[in-house]
Every structure is written in structure tokens, then in C-alpha cells.
Amino acid sequence: MPSAAAPVGAAARPLETWCNRRYILRTLGCEPPLLPADELPRAEVKVTKLVDTDSQAILDVHCSTNREGSDADLCEQIARRNAGDLRSLAADKGYDKKSLRESLRNLGIRPLIKHRIFAPYDYAHNARIDEQRYNQRSMTETVNSAVKRSLGFAVRARSWFREFREIALMCVVYNIKRAVKQ
């Protein structure tokens, strides 16, 4: 069962999808120049995770290749899917959106999201946030780092469904490794 605070981890460091030479050949219909591995074409998959800060377990994952929209919109979807299990949700300033805060409150979830500073009263809003609970948000970055260090920072699949499946399996394997260690 999730703890009181379950921060949404920002996808500041997306996973990369690597294309192999045969795929480039088929797509372009010609022989591409020989490129070193670090110069191969790549696309990014944006991964947003819901992490329990007590157990450091990944509770939910959302993948997207679409660059339109904001992180706050993704966060709202994830919060809605997990509304029964969450009591508070901590996220960084990238998730600062009034509609997200209202949506979380309507779901009975306490938002712990710092305001971006546009006006002097934003300092007051940030001062009212419970710092101890908000600082647990850093545990999501720990989980992101652990997943990338132990399971790799790139997915090998080329189709969207297989990329998502590979990322979801990475999260499952991470959770199993974590449970075995405890």
C-alpha cells in the first residue's frame, strides 16, 4: 500500500530510442553513411513515473513521444488513475498549473507543488508548503537514476507498443529487485 506522499517524478532525463542501421536502410531506401554509435539517429520517449517515497516502488508509469502539452496534464491523468491510493502528491515547478492543483484537491489529494515565481505572492505560496514532505520528491530522482544505472538508459524496441512494454518491464524488474533486497 502506498505511503502518505507519492511524488510524481519529472521526466527531465528521457529514455532514448536507438535506431539500427538496417532500419535506417529500409526507411531511407539507400545506404546511410557509416556513423559512430553516438551519432545514430535517436528519438526520446518521455517517461513519467509515480513513485512511493517510503518503499521507493514505482506505482504507475506513463510514456509519451508527443512533445505537445505540459507535464501537468500527464500528472493529472496519473493522479486520476491512482486517486484512491494517494493522499498527497509532490512534484517540481514543471508541474505548476492551477487546474492541476484544483483537480488534485477535487480528488482528495493534497498537492505539494511549488509555484513558479511570477509575482511576490508566489514566494508566500511556496513558504506554506510542508518542506519535509515536499523534499521527499527527491526520492523519485533516486528511483529514476537507479533504473537507468541498473537496467540501461535506452530502449532497443522500434515500435511504440514495444517501447512502452520495454519501459513497463524495466519498472517491474526494478520493483522486483527492490522487493528482494528488502
Look at residue 1 and tell me if it is in a domain: no
Look at residue 76 and tell me if it is in a domain: yes
DSSP string, 82-106: TTTT-SEEEE-GGG--HHHHHHHHH
144 close to 49: Cβ distance less than 8 angstroms = yes
What is the predicted pLDDT for the residue at 120?
Answer: 85
Look at residue 170 and tell me if it is in a domain: yes
Look at residue 157 and tell me if it is in a domain: yes
What is the predicted pLDDT for the residue at 84?
Answer: 87
Q: What CATH number should be reported for the domain holding residue 148? A: 3.30.420
What is the predicted pLDDT for the residue at 176?
Answer: 95
Look at residue 91 and tell me if it is in a domain: yes
What is the predicted pLDDT for the residue at 19?
Answer: 47
Look at residue 155 and tell me if it is in a domain: yes
What is the predicted pLDDT for the residue at 12?
Answer: 37
What is the predicted pLDDT for the residue at 6?
Answer: 55
| Domain housing 176 | 8-181
CB atoms within 10 A of CB 73: 14
Sign, CA torsion 113/104/168/19: negative
Look at residue 2 and tell me if it is in a domain: no
Coil vs helix vs strand at 13? coil
Report if pTM > 0.75. no
Q: Provide the β-strand partners of residue 58.
A: 51
Structural domains in the chain (count): 1
Backbone angles phi, psi at 77, to 5 degrees: -60, -45
What is the predicted pLDDT for the residue at 173?
Answer: 94
Residues of the chain with confidence (pLDDT) below 70: 1-43, 67
29 torsion bin: left (phi>0), alpha (psi -120 to 50), beta (else): left
Shortest CA distance to 96 belongs to which of 4, 2, 5, 10? 10
